[in-house]
């Protein structure tokens, strides 16, 4: 309909009325005659405009027409015949429709065509992060949600651990190394191999709070002949302050036999191009993690069992759950008056869905009865099966919460008679 109207404004069309064609009525007294269409040149200074109009047909049995010349000041009503001016379509609506279609197509194209523009930076358009620094470091931002904070209104240690785990997997995925397994490369999947963590160290300088946005950077390095080390740095996106440092060691395990495995050469060729030759972000202090038992433990929590949601895709308990079990036996006065500043874990055995676990904690260097008013506190931990087999050994360090520092100073002043 729009196309027909626009065409008829430029190309004359014979009138459907035989009466109009026979009489050759003139509109405005023009001299041209093209099948009932009269043309008149309207002169206005140096500008000439040709106006075309079709001879009107009968309306209600009587002929209608225009008498005299067409004046520029005439007010055309809806009963007048359509001319070049009033046959134009609504170009603004047409332009808006074309723009909407173009923007939608451009958005779809950007989502589909997400190949890297530079070899040193792989961009992920879906918000999972990006690879920077010559393709060796993966970085991703997280917003601290309301359900990720604890009673202190700060992110929990489990939240931070989940961020570390998420960036590790997204690093493998964005680099194009993710196979069918949980972080396993294609060659690892062919050989039925999976990654398992043997050691984890975390140091927290400050916990983010609800609404904060943090940036997590992670990279991998070699650890001995058959291990891989993964490090993390967590920053406050607003202040660029370093919040958390973490370092871990991983080895390979056969998924069927559950035995540790050397790194096959095919797998080594896959992962070595992504290794960085850097020192760990946390240096091992060399202190041995002691084994504690019922006699040396100050707190014991028994009967801990994993839920279905605690298992990962490899059918063993997620390593983040171990931290939750360790805190189950942490002294309540410490949880109320102190915050976790560092944790060191050594994983000895994996834990399955039918396991029953015991959590043991021993406080070192401090009287248990004065924990609420103590300064820094150290604890040793052990997770074990009911038969005594060790799962995880750990050590935690705690510092007084900000509000508790004044209580400690008051306590010291009272002891010294100040």
Give yes or no for residue 224 having a pLDDT over 80.
Answer: yes
Percent above pLDDT 90 for the chain: 54
Range 303-309, long-range pairs (CB < 8 A, 24+ positions): 303/356, 303/358, 304/328, 304/356, 304/357, 304/358, 304/359, 305/355, 305/356, 305/357, 306/351, 306/352, 306/353, 306/355, 306/357, 308/353
Report, in angstroms and rounded to the nearest whole number, the Rg of the chain calculated over CA atoms: 39
Give the span between the Cα atoms of 27 and 13, in whole angstroms: 16
Q: Do residues 82 and 76 lie in contact, with contact meaning Cβ atoms separated by under 8 Å?
A: no
Please compute, for residue 361, the number of CA atoms within 13 A of its CA located in the half-sphere on the CB side.
22
Q: How far is CA 294 from the centre of its chain?
A: 45
Q: Do residues 241 and 277 lie in contact, with contact meaning Cβ atoms separated by under 8 Å?
A: no
Give the span between the Cα atoms of 52 and 87, in whole angstroms: 12
Higher pLDDT, 218 or 24: 218
Q: Are strands 377-385 and 227-236 parallel, antiparallel or unpaired?
A: unpaired
pLDDT value of residue 412? 39
List, as one string, the DSSP characters of 141-156. Answer: EEEPPGGGB-TTSBB-
pLDDT value of residue 204? 98
pLDDT value of residue 289? 95
Residues 381-388, mean pLDDT to the nearest whole number: 96
For residue range 71-91, what is the model confidence (pLDDT) as tens digits?
A: 444 444 445 555 555 665 667
Give yes or no for residue 57 having a pLDDT over 70.
Answer: no
Give yes or no for residue 391 having a pLDDT over 80.
Answer: yes
Percent above pLDDT 70 for the chain: 69
Number of other CB atoms surrounding residue 164 within 10 Å: 21
Q: How far is CA 329 from the centre of its chain?
A: 34
Please compute, for residue 21, the number of CA atoms within 13 A of its CA located in the half-sphere on the CB side.
8
pLDDT value of residue 217? 98
What confidence category does residue 119 fall into, taking pLDDT thresholds of 50, 70 and 90?
very low
Q: How far apart are the first and last CA of the chain?
A: 96
Q: How far is CA 92 from the centre of its chain?
A: 38
For residue range 257-307, what is the model confidence (pLDDT) as tens digits?
A: 989 999 999 999 999 999 999 999 999 888 899 999 999 999 999 999 999
Average pLDDT, the chain: 78
Whole-structure pTM over 0.85, yes or no? no
pLDDT value of residue 79? 52
Give the span between the Cα atoms of 157 and 149, in whole angstroms: 9
pLDDT value of residue 105? 74
Number of other CB atoms surrounding residue 348 within 10 Å: 13
CATH 3.40.50.10860, domain 288-418, yes or no: no
pLDDT value of residue 171? 94
For residue range 343-379, what is the model confidence (pLDDT) as tens digits?
A: 999 999 999 989 999 999 999 988 878 888 889 999 9
pLDDT value of residue 218? 98
- 88 CB contacts (<8 Å, ≥6 apart)? 5, 6, 9
Give the span between the Cα atoms of 378 and 380, in whole angstroms: 7
Number of other CB atoms surrounding residue 138 within 10 Å: 29
Q: Do residues 18 and 28 lie in contact, with contact meaning Cβ atoms separated by under 8 Å?
A: no
pLDDT value of residue 382? 98
Give the domain 91-284 fold. Answer: Thiol Ester Dehydrase; Chain A (3.10.129)
Give the span between the Cα atoms of 394 and 346, in whole angstroms: 6
pLDDT value of residue 23? 41
Number of other CB atoms surrounding residue 400 within 10 Å: 22
Residues 228-234, mean pLDDT to the nearest whole number: 98
Number of other CB atoms surrounding residue 9 within 10 Å: 16
pLDDT value of residue 94? 78
Residue indicated by tokens 């500043």 = 341
Residue 417 φ/ψ region, left for φ over 0, alpha for ψ in the -120 to 50 degree band, beta for the rest:
left
CA-to-CA dists, residue 202 to 170, 244, 275, angstroms: 20, 7, 21
Give yes or no for residue 321 having a pLDDT over 50.
Answer: yes
Q: Annotated active-site positions, please?
A: 314, 316, 351
Q: Do residues 305 and 351 lie in contact, with contact meaning Cβ atoms separated by under 8 Å?
A: no
Q: How far is CA 47 from the centre of its chain?
A: 61
pLDDT value of residue 183? 82
Largest CA distance in the chain: 125
For residue range 23-39, what is the model confidence (pLDDT) as tens digits?
A: 444 334 444 443 443 44
Q: Identify the DSSP state of 71.
A: P
Query: Domain ranges in the chain?
Result: 1-89, 91-284, 288-418
For residue range 162-214, what is the model confidence (pLDDT) as tens digits?
A: 999 999 999 999 998 888 767 899 999 999 999 999 999 999 999 999 999 99
Q: Do residues 212 and 144 lie in contact, with contact meaning Cβ atoms separated by under 8 Å?
A: yes
Give the span between the Cα atoms of 102 and 91, in whole angstroms: 16
């Amino acid at each position: 309909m729009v196309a027909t109207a626009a065409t008829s404004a430029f190309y004359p069309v014979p009138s459907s009325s035989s009466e109009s064609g026979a009489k050759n009525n003139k509109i405005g007294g023009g001299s041209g005659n093209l099948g009932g269409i009269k043309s008149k040149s309207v002169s206005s200074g140096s500008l000439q405009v040709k106006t075309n109009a079709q001879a009107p047909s009968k309306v209600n049995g009587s002929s209608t027409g225009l008498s005299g010349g067409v004046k520029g000041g005439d007010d055309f009503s809806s009963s007048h015949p359509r001319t070049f001016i009033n046959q134009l379509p609504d170009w603004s609506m047409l332009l808006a429709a074309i723009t909407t279609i173009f923007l939608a197509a451009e958005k779809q194209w950007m989502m589909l065509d997400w190949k890297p523009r530079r070899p040193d930076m792989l961009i992920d358009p879906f918000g999972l992060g990006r690879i920077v620094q010559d393709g060796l470091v993966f970085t991703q931002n997280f917003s601290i949600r309301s359900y990720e904070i604890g009673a202190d209104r700060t992110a929990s240690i489990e939240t931070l651990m989940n961020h570390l785990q998420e960036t590790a997997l997204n690093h493998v995925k964005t680099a194009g190394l993710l196979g069918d397994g949980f972080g396993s490369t294609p060659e690892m999947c062919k050989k039925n191999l999976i990654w398992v963590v043997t050691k984890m160290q975390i140091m927290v300088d400050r916990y983010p709070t609800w609404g904060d946005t943090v940036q997590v950077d992670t990279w991998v390095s070699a650890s001995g002949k058959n291990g891989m080390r993964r490090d993390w740095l967590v920053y406050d996106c607003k202040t660029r302050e370093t919040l958390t440092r973490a370092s871990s060691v991983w080895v390979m395990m056969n998924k069927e036999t559950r035995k540790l495995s050397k790194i096959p050469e095919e797998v080594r060729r896959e992962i070595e191009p992504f290794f960085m030759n850097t020192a760990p972000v946390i240096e091992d202090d060399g202190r041995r993690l002691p084994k504690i038992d019922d006699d040396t433990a100050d707190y014991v929590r028994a009967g801990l069992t994993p839920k279905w949601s605690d298992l990962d895709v490899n059918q063993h308990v997620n390593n983040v759950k171990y931290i939750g079990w360790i805190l189950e036996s942490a002294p309540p006065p410490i949880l109320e008056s102190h915050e976790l500043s560092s944790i060191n874990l050594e994983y000895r055995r994996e834990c399955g869905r039918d396991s029953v676990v015991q959590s043991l904690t021993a406080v070192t260097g401090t009287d248990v009865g004065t924990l609420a008013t103590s300064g820094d506190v150290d604890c040793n931990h052990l997770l074990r099966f009911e038969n005594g087999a060790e799962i995880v050994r750990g050590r935690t360090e705690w510092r007084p919460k900000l509000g508790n520092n004044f209580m400690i100073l008051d306590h010291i002043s009272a002891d010294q008679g100040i």
